[in-house]
């Protein structure tokens, strides 16, 4: 049972998609880049500028710089901005964290008692009660006089000396803050102080929290933080051909410069740079960035990112930009004029779904190919894919398919079937790698070619009716091909293996090159059986197939060079 729970927990973590594979999102940019509060405060219009800032980037700007270092900014915030910042900052997985509330409000208390009172009093009544409920018990004079001296020492008197209250907390920081808060309320609105203490002493924290949770969710949805089911709708495929045809007809392709992907592969970023050069208005550029942030917020529930998690949101936003860029590149065919028109008229969510649809189609084609080739574990992969269980898919690849397909092939599958698809970048001895988001058709082409390469190898396995791990089968076929000029997966005998080890390095190199040429020719001649529907890219697919084949057989070449016989290939397949 414990193992099953652990497996479920791991799969749930992998399902988020933005931290399941090693990749670098880069520093926060756009609305997440931070705000130069020092420069704003030098302006005579500092208050108006601060109060005009959208709450989400304002909050992240404060968090990046540190709220303790931004005390001069806090008095300029509107009451609504403060209330929205509380919505972002003091919750964890839909549960109110009172200690976070105390820490946040305490910054206002460091400014002045009046500032602390004003900010607290403006919060929803349910917030106020949630903060104090369960912490306060109120007594009248008669009850106070009936107490022992030890009990009276724990009680605090209100200014009238007729009402008393006690705090139930062993945390000295909590006690210190609540005493400061009650003191500030008494100082500025004594009637309100008696009222809030009376209500808090009888309120149930759970009821107040549930009410404020609903209010908070409604406000967060205005920023795009939608429930889980609605978040998943962003990943729903869209009719690609309909959109493609509509834009081809409304914006015929023109001759001219084609946007080149940036180093990060983002076609979207190239088009945004061009928009600046074409002198888009600030409002037009703001609208695009606002849509991207809203879309990223909408993905947060599916990606298991909390609103206050700046770094998590930055990772989601980077993936969001990438898939929006992929969709934009696909619809525009690389035509910059059409790309600008699409970016201005199509919503970011639509472009995101175009990118998702391209990937979904590739996923489905490769799964069908794996089923035809009877790859072990393919049937379960198909079931998980149809259910959209991305974390379980990655877990299944690690647990089952990695033993069947080997390291490189399984890492390619992980990138393809991650919730946010990515391409693997193998480094060094190819046992080290990182992943990159798919931000253009060029990036998609790399993943497509990897999929084609895998499909070609699957076809070879299918034709030779091999069973067992693909790496072992191809290594066996490689030795057979060098020695017997026969492509077969049947187990090697000792004589064949000894003949392989007896080859000189020059003979091995010559035979290797001849065998690879034969394989490439065979794959091209049989391509209609494994091309996944991408016939225009078969040569790239064959190159990837041979690259994967070389990586699989590299261990054999090393064994031969070091005169270590690969005896494991003699055993039954």
DSSP 258: B
User: pLDDT tens digit string along 304-354?
Assistant: 999 999 999 999 999 999 999 999 999 999 899 999 999 999 999 999 999
Question: Residue 374, class by beta-carbon neighbours within 10 Å (0-12 exposed, 13-18 middle, 19+ buried)?
Answer: middle
Contact 53, 338 (CB under 8 A): no
Tokens, residue 151: 């009990």
Give, in degrees to the nearest 5, the angle at Cα 211 between 209 and 212.
Answer: 65
Return phi, psi of residue 136, to 5°. -120, 135
Question: How confident is the model at residue 261, as a pLDDT?
Answer: 47
Closest CA to 269 of 215, 321, 201: 321
Helix, coil or strand: residue 206: helix
Question: How confident is the model at residue 239, as a pLDDT?
Answer: 93
Q: Is the pLDDT of residue 495 over 70?
A: yes
> Mean pLDDT, the chain, as a whole number?
88
Question: Residue 469, class by beta-carbon neighbours within 10 Å (0-12 exposed, 13-18 middle, 19+ buried)?
Answer: middle
User: CA-CA distance, 107 to 86, in Å (whole number)?
Assistant: 12
For residues 469-495, average pLDDT: 80
User: CA-CA distance, 321 to 443, in Å (whole number)?
Assistant: 13
User: CA-CA distance, 396 to 378, in Å (whole number)?
Assistant: 10
Question: How confident is the model at residue 490, as a pLDDT?
Answer: 78
User: pLDDT tens digit string along 522-533?
Assistant: 888 888 888 888
pLDDT band per the 50, 70, 90 thresholds, residue 573: very low
User: CA-CA distance, 535 to 365, in Å (whole number)?
Assistant: 13
User: pLDDT tens digit string along 87-116?
Assistant: 999 998 889 998 999 999 999 999 999 999
User: pLDDT tens digit string along 370-389?
Assistant: 999 888 899 999 999 999 99
CA 16 to chain CA mean position, Å: 6
Question: How confident is the model at residue 259, as a pLDDT?
Answer: 47
Residue 258: how many CA atoms within 13 Å on its side-chain side? 14
Question: How confident is the model at residue 256, as a pLDDT?
Answer: 52
Q: Is the pLDDT of residue 2 over 50?
A: no
CA distances from 445 to 155, 203, 404, 441 (A): 71, 60, 25, 6
Contact 496, 479 (CB under 8 A): yes
Return phi, psi of residue 374, to 5°. 55, 45
pLDDT band per the 50, 70, 90 thresholds, residue 253: low
Q: Containing H/E element for 324?
A: helix 310-332
Give the lowest-confidence range in 191-200, 242-251, 276-285, 296-305. 242-251
User: CA-CA distance, 472 to 461, in Å (whole number)?
Assistant: 11
């Amino acid at each position: 049972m414990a193992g099953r729970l652990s497996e479920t927990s791991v799969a749930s973590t992998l399902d988020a998609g933005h931290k399941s594979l090693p990749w670098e999102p880069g520093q926060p940019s756009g609305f997440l880049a931070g705000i130069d509060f020092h420069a704003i405060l030098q302006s005579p219009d500092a208050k108006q500028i601060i109060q005009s800032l959208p709450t989400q980037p304002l909050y992240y700007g404060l968090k990046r710089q540190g709220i303790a270092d931004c005390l001069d900014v806090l008095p300029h915030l509107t009451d609504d901005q403060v209330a929205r910042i509380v919505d972002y900052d003091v919750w964890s997985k839909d549960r109110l964290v009172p200690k976070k509330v105390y820490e946040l409000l305490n910054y206002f208390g460091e400014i002045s008692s009046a500032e602390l009172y004003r900010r607290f009093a403006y919060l929803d009544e349910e917030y106020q009660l949630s903060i104090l409920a369960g912490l306060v018990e109120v007594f009248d004079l008669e009850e106070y006089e009936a107490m022992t001296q030890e009990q009276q020492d724990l009680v605090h008197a209100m200014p009238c000396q007729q009402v008393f209250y006690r705090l139930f907390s062993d945390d000295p920081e909590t006690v210190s803050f609540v005493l400061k808060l009650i003191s500030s309320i008494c100082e500025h609105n004594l009637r309100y102080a008696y009222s809030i203490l009376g209500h808090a002493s009888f309120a149930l924290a759970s009821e107040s929290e549930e009410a404020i949770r609903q209010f908070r969710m409604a406000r967060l949805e205005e920023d795009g933080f939608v429930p889980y089911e609605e978040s998943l709708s962003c990943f729903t495929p869209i009719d690609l051909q309909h959109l493609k045809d509509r834009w081809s007809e409304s914006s015929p392709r023109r001759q001219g410069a084609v946007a080149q992907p940036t180093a990060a592969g983002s076609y979207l970023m190239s088009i945004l740079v061009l928009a600046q050069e074409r002198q888009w208005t600030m409002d037009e550029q703001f609208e695009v960035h606002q849509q991207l942030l809203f879309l990223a917020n909408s993905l947060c529930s599916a990606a298991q990112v909390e609103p206050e998690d700046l770094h998590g949101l930055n990772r989601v936003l980077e993936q969001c930009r990438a898939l929006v860029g992929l969709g934009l590149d696909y619809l525009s065919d690389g035509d910059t004029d059409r790309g600008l028109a699409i970016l201005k008229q199509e919503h970011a969510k639509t472009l995101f779904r175009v990118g998702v649809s391209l990937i979904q189609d590739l996923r489905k084609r490769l799964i069908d190919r794996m089923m035809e080739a009877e790859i072990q574990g393919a049937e379960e992969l198909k079931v998980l894919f149809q259910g959209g269980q991305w974390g379980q898919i990655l877990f299944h690849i690690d647990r089952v398919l990695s033993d069947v397909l080997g390291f490189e092939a399984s890492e390619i599958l992980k990138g393809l079937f991650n919730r946010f698809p990515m391409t693997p970048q193998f480094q060094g001895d190819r046992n080290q790698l990182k992943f990159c988001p798919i931000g253009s058709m060029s990036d998609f082409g790399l993943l497509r070619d990897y999929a084609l390469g895998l499909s070609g190898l699957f076809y070879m396995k299918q034709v030779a009716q091999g069973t067992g791990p693909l790496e072992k089968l191809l290594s066996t076929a490689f030795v057979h091909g060098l020695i017997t000029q026969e492509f077969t997966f049947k187990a090697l005998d000792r004589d064949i293996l000894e003949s392989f080890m007896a080859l000189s390095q020059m003979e091995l190199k010559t035979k290797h090159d001849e065998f690879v040429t034969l394989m490439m020719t065979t794959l091209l001649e049989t391509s209609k059986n494994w091309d996944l529907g991408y016939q225009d890219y078969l040569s790239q697919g064959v190159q990837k197939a041979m690259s994967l084949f070389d990586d699989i057989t590299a261990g054999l070449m090393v064994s031969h060079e070091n005169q270590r016989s690969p005896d494991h290939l003699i055993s039954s397949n």
